[in-house]
Structure 1
């Protein structure tokens, strides 16, 4: 369940945004009901971004989280992001889901809905919760004390 600040729980069973559904139990991404093939590393990048929705995730953090301490070039991350954008139907020039912060990292910027808990196949869906993601263009300002 989301807390009062709208934070996503650590491991929701299902994330939804736009016409995309990410089922973490089945390791399946669908768009408009159609399965979207993803390489395992691209899927891991997506899950990492979803778990940190609304936050800037530095390139180094993504490389460490997904590839570990193996020596890889940043190009593998760029390739995974391109694969994700293709699967999600996202445009890098007008991003709806993944925003690039050049030389810094990536942010997942769409509003998420998610379901928590384990589900047996054919069982009713768990309650869905919505977590709005603040837009970098509209920073959240604290209330002014009275």
Structure 2
């Protein structure tokens, strides 16, 4: 993974947000947000660990468009519905914060490599069966 790509992938609370691909995944499945909710989550992820003011979020998600705070509230509600109630924290009179800890992406070289190969006793000799089983289990 290149540095530019790594900077665009956020892992938190069992979720993976990949900004380069425009995807959000749970542990076993893709998750879907409407475009504005996705943009809001993306900005919160880029600013993980920081309370992001409502005005900043509105400027980023709805640039040059006047919307009420209700639009922001609806997008936060949608994110909470998909990720869970406790993933986006409301900080009264200040803004919102992604309440998860960033998880480090595992290095590919640190992951075990497993090859599963089915062995078959071609010789027909029952004495060779133990060796075939040993390869399959080892």
1:6-45 matches, within 5 Å, as: 12-45=7-40
Could you list the runs of 5+ residues in structure 1 that have no partner in the other structure? 1-8, 116-123, 128-146
Could you say what the CA RMSD is over the residues aligned between the two structures, in angstroms?
Answer: 2.4
Deviation, structure 1 residue 47: 0.9
CA distance in 2 between partners of 1:64 and 1:30 (Å) = 26
- The two structures have a TM-score, normalised by structure 2, of 0.68
* CA offset digits 1:82-132 (Å, max 9, x no partner): 1111111x22xxx2x2110122210112111255xxxxxxxx8599xxxxx
Q: Is the 8 A contact 1:45 1:80 kept in 2?
A: yes
Deviation, structure 1 residue 32: 2.0
Deviating 4+ runs (over 2 angstroms): 124-127
2:42 is paired with a residue of what secondary structure?
helix
Q: How many matched pairs?
A: 106
Q: Is the 8 A contact 1:20 1:32 kept in 2?
A: yes
**Structure (1 or 2) with the larger CA radius of gyration:** 2
CA distance in 1 between partners of 2:109 and 2:33 (Å) = 26
CA distance in 2 between partners of 1:58 and 1:13 (Å) = 22
Counterpart in the other structure of 1:107 = 97
Could you list the runs of 5+ residues in structure 2 that have no partner in the other structure? 111-138
Q: Which protein is richer in strand relative to its size?
A: 1
CA distance in 2 between partners of 1:50 and 1:126 (Å) = 26
